[in-house]
Chains A and B, each alone.
Chain A
Amino acid sequence: MDPQQLPPGHSIKRWLLTTNHKDVGILYLVTSLYFLVLGGILALVFRLQLADPGLNILSPPAFNQAVTIHGLVMVLFVVSPLAFALANYVVPLQIGARDLAFPRLNALSYWLYLFGGLLVMISFFQDRTLDVGWTLYQPLSSAFSPYVGVNTGGLGLALLTASVTVSTVNFVVTIFRSRAKGLRLTALPMFTLGVLLTVLMMLYAFPALLAGIILLSSDRILGTVYFTSPEGGAILWDHIFWFFGHPEVYIVLFPALGVFGDVLVTFSRRPLFARRIIIAAMVVVAALSFLVWGHHMFLTGMHPDVRRAFTVTTIAISLPFDAIILSFIYTLAKARIELKTPMLFVLGSIAIFIIGGITGVFLGSIALDYVLRGTYFVVAHFHYTMAGGALVGLIAGVYYWYPKMTGRMFSEKLGRLQFILTMIGFNMLYFPLFLSWEMPRRVPIYVESLMPLQQVATIGGFIFGVSFLVMFWNLLYSLRYGEPAGNNPWGAHTLEWMTESPPPPHNFDGTPTFADGRLSFIAANGAAHGEPETHLSPWPFMLSLASFTALLGLTTHIMVSIVGVGLLAFSVLGFAGERFISREDPLGERWPFDRVDRMKLAWWTFISSEVVLFGVVLSAYVYVRTASATWPAPGTLLDIGHGAMNTFILLTSSLTVVLALASARTGNRTGTVGFLAATLALGALFLFNKYGEWSELFSHGITFSSSLPASTFFLTTGIHGAHVFAGLLALGYLLARALKGAYLGKGHETLEYFGYYWHFVDIVWVFIFPLFYLV
């Protein structure tokens, strides 16, 4: 059928080059399950240690590394990627799209994720890996943990945030612009809706993590003093980390909520109860999730009124959750409930999540936090939500869509066996931890009276572990020997079941539409028109490999980095120069972005996440400046003349880029080339001036590590300068193509998109200039 045939499934080429969303979904699935095994083994090792404080399986540093990597891997490399595995496979099918909006970027997200994970794993073998807890508290993880592996692990996380940013932009654009006609946002299947809200939260939460990691890595590698100075230090990190960290909890959970919604409808044979209220409640949670981070800092000595405000928001966020969970339960009334494996897992997961939710209210109360903070009660609580609610909920999703992905049914018997083992193992593992509510977390040594509880937990942990072995066996065995599934084995109503299992590369024969309220197919598939679409590209893999190499060199040998940067330049050019065709269907539901084409939407989405990145970096500056008793007066540390000149240069370059676009629109080649060249020259002048300013400071002995004013100046303008530099590289490419006559008339949009980026970088400078030079 498909003009651009994918290589067969057993060929390695297929999996290295594929950009098809279903293939990428499978890659995500296998990789996340691999990391699950890794994180799980680490957990079992320290559970063994905890079974008896007298055991010396793990030395204290080894214990700290095990719990840290377990936490990081499970949260960032297992649960979210598992959700993205399902999202990759299912979302385009559920909305009737042929693929994601940017298939190559999708493959790029996967490879960046894999290589980020590899960096974290490599850090294990470099002296010591991250041993500071997954929350990376300061100044322990900056000044007091001088191990190379910590740097490598941190860079791995940076690569992961890059992966997440790319993939959020992709999913936002896809879900907004590639829906089948008539599929309004509120009519989206619950899973797709959950993914949409997830990526919107990710879009604004992960840049905060990225900013945090940049500041931390800069402290560790360049010697800035953000976290090593008492003015910044512990509290600054807490704010940055938890501004990311609390939304992350819902980011992990929302795809599972989506699975709950879809599975409940399918196996209870009833529409969802108060569906619109569930959606509204999820939107409220997503928004509110950015306003509750302070509850992780109740005992840090925040202002009492601020604490009270965070208590209110934190406990209040339980109300929309009540509405969501109760609606799920009310759906079961007058239903015809089929207790198949996916449904069992959903019901079990909801029951577990209820316990997690209720205990979350306990932790929202500051007064109780005086006891519960830092104890096993917290450990139990978040495992009930994130392991029980999110992970077990996603396992339900894996079973639910397994027949769609493979065309085979899994063994229902083994599925039930896993369910029973999961429920027993999970509750044996985590319930005793609630009862150990006075025991500190992350300690291998504890009072003897708690030993029975901890031993029950360890036994439970192994049962929980075995339950996954049953699943792996079931999934592998059924791949070969399962009954054929047919298109719609569960009798579900959503679109992914209205095509073959597994679906063909282009998903549907014909274009699905809901234009008259019910599904029908318009005869021709959009793929059939015009030039065949592309499904293979080597560049996502190459780009990720190159980034990995460049970062690895930073903590091993600088030559490795140089090779990496060279490879990166080569791959970027390869990526940009490749002819990769993926079309949008002309028909489709696009509200509210009917008039915004997909590249424009992608740029705006990306830039809005950059706003958070710079917002956090600038807030960090304002924070340390407010906390500092003294600060150099304007004009003493920094020369206002340099700053003013650069402001003038950069604002002028905004004008030239507009003029370049205007010339391109009217087909004026000389104007286009000339104004692009002028922009390039102005940008280069800006950097040259910056270079002069920096070297002057260096010559006066003012460096990254001199003081907070110096650190914040160098790093903030450094990050901004890197953005200008990236812009110059893009400009060089645009100019080279414009010289060959590109962008005139048709195709001028490319210059427009570049313009957005360039204006944004200029606007950031408009904030930096007064904040650093004038105030």
Chain B
Amino acid sequence: MVATTVEIFMSLWSIFSTLGVLVGVVVMSYMIYLIVKNRARPGGPEPEDAPKPGELPREQKGAKKLLISVVLSASIVLTLISLTFIALDSLDTPPADAMEVKVVAFQWGWRFIYPNGYESVGELRIPRGTPVKLYVTSQDVFHNMGIIGLRLKVDAIPGKTNIAWTRVYETGVYDIRCFELCGDGHGVMIGKLVVMDPEEFNSWYSSLQVS
């Protein structure tokens, strides 16, 4: 597993997509089955209760059949809601020992402010294995910070600070992109997240000159 956020997302995603595909396939197969089975054949009999011109609408009775179907989908939906809430608990509670980084989005780039006050634009470096808590805001318009591959996303809104966190278990480089249309440079508002070996990170971090 690459990151905590990936873990949380993937477990939920696999349940949603399995159930989603299952429900979709069952319903559509049933529909196609009915269509094929009941296609009008020349000279075939008209259903007994076929609506006649000028008649007020009638209905086919079947509250029971429908009730069963809806109870079934309700139980699926309830399961999904509870699973979402469980996942949300972990997403909403960052670990206490996290490294805290402030992120300021602007037209069109990302500024990162480390705990020691060091600022960098475009690239965020974090150590592998340490939880990182991001305080995200914007200095101009509505942006959204997403780190591709880490299943992490948070709105960057002027006048407001939103929190997101993750813990990445492997070193590597990830794209940070803007996911809310923010003007001409929206498409090129790309930053990098560099996950470093903890020792390398520490030597880099302690060598920083902070004004």
Contact = CB atoms under 8 A, between A and B. Distances in A.
A271 interface: yes
Contacts of B113: none
B54 A273 contact: no
B197 interface: no
Interface string A471-506: 000000000000000001001111101100000000
B159 interface: yes
A266 B52 CA distance: 10
A329 B151 contact: no
Nearest to A350: B31
Contacts of B179: 373-375, 440-441
B-side interface mostly: mixed
A187 B159 contact: no
A378 B142 CA distance: 18
Given A187-B57, A330-B62, A361 B16 contact: yes
Contact of B58 (A271, A315, A443): A271
B183 A144 contact: yes
A147 to B, nearest CB: 11
Interface stretch (B7-15, B123-131, B199-207): B7-15
Contacts of A144: 107, 140-141, 183
A289 to B, nearest CB: 17
Interface residues of B, number: 86
Interface residues of A, number: 103
B121 interface: no
Contacts of B151: 370-371
B159 A233 contact: yes
A299 B154 contact: yes
Nearest to A232: B159
Interface string A181-192: 011000101100
A117 to B, nearest CB: 23
Given A182-B56, A233-B157, A273-B60, A335 B38 contact: yes
A9 interface: no
Contacts of B12: 365, 367-368
A398 interface: no
Contacts of A495: 54
B208 interface: no
Contact of B142 (A140, A266, A375): A140
Nearest to B31: A329
Given A269-B46, A274-B60, A367-B88, A139 B141 contact: yes
B53 A441 contact: no
Contact of B31 (A138, A332, A336, A370): A332
Nearest to A519: B54
Nearest to B78: A315
B42 to A, nearest CB: 11
A251 to B, nearest CB: 23
A189 B57 contact: yes
Interface in A264-307: 265-266, 268-277, 299-301, 304, 307
Given A332-B35, A367-B9, 12 more contacts: A60-B184, A139-B141, A270-B49, A274-B63, A319-B74, A322-B69, A325-B27, A336-B38, A336-B50, A370-B151, A374-B153, A445-B187
Interface of B: 5, 8-9, 12-13, 16-17, 20, 23-24, 27-28, 30-31, 34-35, 38-40, 44-47, 49-63, 65-66, 69-70, 73-74, 77, 80-81, 84-85, 87-88, 91-92, 107, 140-142, 144, 146, 148-149, 151-155, 157-163, 175, 177-188
